[in-house]
Chains A and B, each alone.
Chain A
Amino acid sequence: MKPVTEVRSRTAVLPFENIDTDRIIPARFLTTTERAGLGRHAFNDWRYTDDGGDNPEFPLNRAEARGCAIVVAGRNFGCGSSREHAPWALLDYGIEAVISSEIADIFRSNSLKNGLLAIVLAEAEHRELIENPGIELAIDVAARTITLPDGRAFAFALDGFARHCLLNGVDQLGFLLDAGAEIDAYEQHAA
């Protein structure tokens, strides 16, 4: 994983609650055996019209949302399945951070392992971002803050280990492999 220290971008807003992983990447695209190339199917059934054109109703298709790397979404984003294809698709689509007032556990875990910032904010702060699409935000992973154009900063919680891994591009599998002797000892004790 590449280190992720900050994300600066205008926001695009998906004001809907409970955006599930089937919305993010429909199951019929999960037959791939690769990680790459899922971006063109991100939000597939919402983003495209039946004839394959861009759906003007999909907020991320609007001109002002183009190129936005930060999505602010309604409560309980990423609920549903464990498919890691969801963060893979979002990253490949150009999204580097998702902000909500609640993010589903497995999606959040998967996102952070891939360098997609999945950030939970307090209700009032989240509401302010939902109501003000298009503002420029600066997310600072080290400081665990989101800075608004007026200079105010919203703090967010991020597990210390997840922060360390993001900042340094730490490979968590390497961390586990380094614990091999302890795992051996556990297995001998448990046997």
Chain B
Amino acid sequence: MSAQTIIDKIWDAHLVRAETADTPGILYIDLHLIHEVTTPQAFSELRARGLTVRRPERVLATLDHSTPTLPADAHGQRPYASKDAENQVRQLEANCREFGIALEGWDSDDRGIVHVMGPELGATQPGMTIVCGDSHTATHGAFGALAFGIGTTEVGHVLATQCLLQRKPKTFAIHVDGRLRPGVGAKDLILHIIGVIGVGGGTGHVLEYRGSAIEALSMEQRMTVCNMSIEAGARAGLIAPDDTTIAWLAGRPRVPQGADWDRAAARWRALRSDDGARFDREVRIDAADIGPTVTYGTHPGMVMPVHASIPAARDAQEEKALAYMQFGGGRPITGEKVDVVFVGSCTNSRLSDLREAADVLRGRSVAAGVRMLVVPGSVRIKREAEAEGLDAVFTAAGAEWRDAGCSMCIGMNGDIARPGQLVVSTSNRNFEGRQGPGARTVLASPRVAAVAAVNGCITDPDTFLEHAA
């Protein structure tokens, strides 16, 4: 057999029926993650057709998108953004009861943002096919799983049949060699990659991130990288499993136990692209070229080193983006006054992200006039952070410490910025209005975001922290 990529291997292992010229393949799905926003219409469809959920044990549900991040009042009433938001949560609770699906709901210690929770529980495993009605499902690719976002019609397909109709995607190798500089992290890396291949550069492809700089990343960092694959247009992005992956998964609640674990770990270690495997596209990036990176426009491909000047608009599209951002081409981005700082989202809400922000904030204060929200990705992360005293660091600095959820990444749960406000955000999308109508978003790492909160404006963290030391 000819050399195969890891993508080919996972794909072939999950084909119930191979594709032909006339019909797509039937792909088996190992794990289906669901949340309240993209599922109600799928359950309605099942009910209307008298169908059941084929493999409820392969479905895992959480509440994250529409959920408030402020606590319930004395009567137990949660501060939902609207009646509709509350109704959506109630519907998922009822649907999970009716169809026999495990829901990590309000009372669960395992609840979290869907892409934080799956890995935490060890439900996400190498070699799996994983889907969710959410475009950031690629996050699970960090474990060497083929994970991608689907629409609600497809959610219904998977609920009813545990399968999807799919044509095989093309493959795209992103080689990152060398070492990241100190203070440069996974967020800087993925923003840089999106800048190189473009916001639609991965369309039709699954990305495999590889090379020495990728192998050196922690699992949390790998999740940050894979999470934003969709921002380059790729439905999925993955990293071959290795000792780092296996060590991170060991002992988690849903992984195999005992001798089964040993067999699984051996199988996972062997799961990688063969030497000489051909990719449809390849790009090479030198990790040493990357510094602290931010976005300056209205899509995640408009990126720049934070210390540089804002690139001048090259066309009418970029002019429109700069006008929305109220940024002038040729000017530095440092010094732009910040109104809100958000640390959270499925991109950057894990314990290491919170530590990175806390390391900046410890002994410092959020600047006057700046509102800072820190939102852990799961109940478990919240507890772990509190056990280390990170919550105290944030609140002492003047930041708000919230309950787990998607929060300000997606303006649908009450956590939003006001029109015109500039948000430095560790989330994944800087689209117009993403964080509230008229809100302006600059995407950044937790370190860059925390420095902006302290200094009240976008700031080069290397310069700032060096002078402060």
Contacts and interface: CB of A to CB of B under 8 A. Distances in A.
Interface of A: 16-18, 20, 22-23, 26-28, 30-35, 45, 74-76, 79-84, 102, 104-106, 109-110, 113-114, 159-161, 164, 172-173, 175-177, 179-180, 182-183, 186-187, 190
B173 to A, nearest CB: 18
A139 B299 CA distance: 31
A30 B37 contact: yes
Given A22-B429, A33-B88, A82-B149, A28 B412 contact: yes
Interface string B5-49: 000000000001100011110101000000001101100110001
B153 A113 contact: yes
A84 B81 contact: no
Interface stretch (B115-123, B196-204, B275-283): B196-204
B199 A76 contact: yes
Contacts of A182: 16-17, 26
Contacts of B199: 18, 76, 79
B66 interface: yes
Contacts of B22: 160-161, 164
B49 to A, nearest CB: 8
Interface of B: 16-17, 21-24, 26, 28, 37-38, 40-41, 44-45, 49, 51, 54, 65-66, 81-82, 84-85, 87-88, 91, 133-135, 137, 149-154, 156-157, 160-163, 165, 167, 199-200, 203-204, 230, 233, 235, 298-299, 301, 317, 320, 410-412, 429, 431-434, 437-438
Query: B interface, by DSSP: helix, strand, loop or mixed?
Result: loop
Contacts of B200: 18, 75-76, 79, 102, 104
A176 B165 contact: yes
Contacts of B135: 80-82, 106
Given A18-B298, A35-B41, 9 more contacts: A31-B37, A31-B84, A109-B150, A161-B165, A179-B26, A182-B16, A182-B26, A183-B161, A187-B162
A109 B317 CA distance: 26
A190 B30 CA distance: 11
Given A16-B317, A82-B135, A82-B150, A173 B160 contact: yes
